[in-house]
């Protein structure tokens, strides 16, 4: 939980410019495609021109998924 989310309005455009990068630095968007990033690259993030249809699984909820991913409400496992 060291990285905190930042929320922008849907009409915002965010530009991230790189000054220095480590060898092999890669941009991954939503776990899909990936792109290598070099020093001096700029990444532009904005809303797409089209909407996206999101399908929900009725057997799972967003809080349940989050709890499973973050390990909430699990019994601690102590090292011996």
Print pLDDT tens along the chain (80 aa).
Answer: 677 888 999 899 999 999 999 999 999 987 788 999 999 999 999 998 998 888 877 887 778 778 888 888 777 778 77
**How far is the C-alpha of 45 from the C-alpha of 15, rounded, in Å?**
6
pLDDT value of position 1 = 61
Q: What is the DSSP secondary structure assignment for residue 76, as one 8-state letter? A: P
For Cα atoms 36, 41, 42, give the angle at the middle one, nearest 5 degrees. Answer: 115
Residue-wise DSSP of 6-49: ----TT--EEEE-S---TT-EEESTTS-EEE--TT-EEEE---S
pTM reported for the whole predicted model: 0.57
């Amino acid at each position: 939980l060291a990285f905190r989310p930042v929320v922008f309005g849907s009409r915002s455009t965010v530009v991230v410019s790189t000054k220095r990068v480590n060898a092999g630095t890669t941009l991954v968007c939503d776990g899909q495609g990936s792109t290598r990033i070099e020093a001096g690259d700029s990444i532009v993030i904005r809303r797409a021109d089209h909407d996206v249809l999101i399908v929900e699984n009725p057997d799972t909820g967003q809080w349940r998924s989050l709890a499973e991913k973050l390990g909430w409400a699990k019994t601690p496992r102590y090292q011996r």
